[in-house]
Amino acid sequence: MLQRDWELVGAPNARDLGGLPAAEGRRVRAGRLIRTAALGRLTDEDLPVLGKLGPACVVDLRGAAEQQVAPPDRLVGEPRVVHLPVYDPAHPVFTYVSAVLLGHDLTAYDELAREGMPAAMAQIYRWFVTGAAAREGFGAAVRLAAEERNLPLLFHCSAGKDRTGWLAVVLLTALGVDEVTIRADYLRHNELTESLREVLLAAMTRRQPHLDPATARPLLEVRAEYLDAAYDEVRRVHGSFGAYLRDGLGVTDGVVAALRDNLLD
């Protein structure tokens, strides 16, 4: 039986995209595309598991400021490490989310707070489609995945749910995986991180006694409405996902063909 979930204590949502049904009756090849959270909290016991995965390339979607405040990735061997920051420090929603996470004063974000965290997360997902840094980062990541020398490719952001989740959507769509299957994989984050999410929520409310858990919880989850916001933005701006790949991300038909050659059985 194909092992899709990799038991990494320090990255509980780690999983292989292999085995998913794709174009022309084919399947995503096992051990080629791995999505995780950041690897800085891996335990000593996790390292042999990562060694078994043996990534040739690790794509880090975090911004430089995020990297600086987090423990460095724990890696095995000498994989190629590529930093593709999908982040905009000037975007008001990014700064609002950071303020919530860090317990900063939120009075400057009254309007965003009134709209609520789910609406803020939906804005971020729309930005994934149109933001310059997002288009550059996601497009470059897809092109890396199309090169045999970068496989197995492991990709992550901080929590491994939003930027990592959208990159998984992009890659799987390019491979011809249907939207229902993609959505189910995206939503599995919640199941895989349920206990950790409650621990994080409790820690946040201890640090910030005035923080309403109802405000923070949508930030720690993935939700169908977030994914819908990105899909809607793709349709609004480009008309189709194929046009988004081509015109938004610079992913040519040749890159898609290479992806399928290298990543499908």
Buried-state track 252-262, b at ≥16 Cβ within 10 A, e below 16: eeebbebbbeb
Q: In which domain, by residue range, is 43 found? A: 20-263
Number of domains in the chain: 1
Active-site choice (86, 157, 204, 259) = 157
Q: Answer yes or no: are the C-beta atoms of 138 and 170 closer than 8 Å.
A: yes
Is residue 255 a part of any domain in this protein? yes
Q: Is 160 exposed, middle or buried (0-12, 13-18, 19+ CB in 10 A)?
A: buried
pLDDT (tens digit per residue) in 193-207: 988 888 877 777 777
Is residue 5 a part of any domain in this protein? no
Is residue 182 a part of any domain in this protein? yes
From residue 243, give the alpha-carbon distance in Å to each of 163, 165, 240, 252. 20, 20, 5, 10
Which helix (DSSP H) or strand (DSSP E) does residue 155 occupy? strand 153-156
Encoded tokens for 134: 């997002």
Query: Looking at the chain, how many residues does it have?
Result: 265
Q: 200 vs 118, which has greater pLDDT?
A: 118
Active site residue 57: no
pTM summary value:
0.94
The CATH number that applies at residue 47 is 3.90.190.10
Helix, strand, coil % in the chain, rounded to nearest 5: 55, 10, 35
Is residue 238 a part of any domain in this protein? yes
Is residue 15 a part of any domain in this protein? no
Is residue 2 a part of any domain in this protein? no
DSSP state of 148: G
pLDDT (tens digit per residue) in 95-113: 877 777 766 776 767 777 7
